[in-house]
Amino acid sequence: MADKQPQYINSIIRALNILELYGKLNTQYLGIAEICKELGLQKTTVFNIVKTLTHQGWLVQDTPNGKYKLGMNILHVSTMVTRSISVEEMILNEMHRLRELYNEDVVLTAMIDGTPICVEKVQSSNILRIASQVGRVSSMVSGSTGKTLFAWQPEEFISKVLDQTFSAVENGQLKRTQLEKELEKIRTQGYCISASEQDEGVSSIAAPIRNKDGIADYSLAVVGSEQRIQEKGLDEIRREVVLTAQRIEKKRFLLS
């Protein structure tokens, strides 16, 4: 008697295909019509699946534009795949140490399915708070946290993102060349400093946390107001962030 073939559930396959689209298209938001076009599915089918994913917390509908973004469930699952409890605790301890040194926000951003996402934040006690929160998506072409991650990705991935970002932009080739030079500088010096790139009046100093292949899994950053960062010593903070990221890298290798 022939072996019985497994019965695959089409609705689950379609739901997974929808979630995978965010990484495939390197986008934060998708609408029902876009999903239908990409997957070749009927609107009713996509609508029902998306509403189910939203109900279960895998997607979240954005109020202003009505489109959907990834919810916290997928963030938690994705981060746990790459982070053991011991490594997570070690990184968090280092983040708290940086916060105690400078009383500024310390942010850990991870590359998840081709998207830089804030996965951990240690808050300062300052009255004026910084906007970054766990789950926030960073730009790969603006701001130190995303650019630091982007600079240490595989060349093929970098080239693909640059093609998508600058192909239809005015003076796209010039802007692409400028960013490529900046990414090379970031790799050479081992850190990135930004000021008012994503949030007005906010400075951040970020360094990569790389794996054994030299690819950045995370970026570690101290984030605060430009004035406070300057007063506390930009160079000193930069040195400490770089040394902390390097220390985490070494500890990760020992724990893995």
Residue-by-residue DSSP string for 43-88 = HHHHHHHHHHHHHTTSEEE-TTT--EEE-HHHHHHHHHHH--HHHH
Number of other residues whose CB lies within 10 A of the CB of residue 221: 33
pLDDT on residue 142: 85
CATH topology for 10-70 is Arc Repressor Mutant, subunit A (1.10.10)
Mean pLDDT (whole number) for 107-135:
82
Taking a C-beta distance cutoff of 8 angstroms, is the pair 46, 39 a contact?
Answer: yes
DSSP-derived secondary structure letter, 29: -
Between CA 87 and CA 250 the distance in angstroms is: 11
CATH architecture of 82-255: 2-Layer Sandwich (3.30)
The tokens of 185 are what? 């500088």
Look up the pTM and report it. 0.65
pLDDT per position as a tens digit, 3-14? 566 778 889 999
Per-residue confidence at 1, pLDDT binned at 50, 70, 90?
very low
- ∠ CA 153-69-8, rounded to 5°: 90
199, 190, 193: which is closest to 249 by C-alpha?
A: 190
> Where does the pLDDT of residue 139 fall: very low under 50, low under 70, confident under 90, or very high at 90 and above?
confident
Domain boundaries, given as residue ranges, for the chain: 10-70, 82-255
Question: Is it the case that residue 38 has pLDDT exceeding 90?
Answer: yes
Taking the CB of residue 176, how many other CB atoms lie within 10 A of it? Answer: 18
How far apart, in whole angstroms, are the C-alpha atoms of residue 151 and residue 49? 36
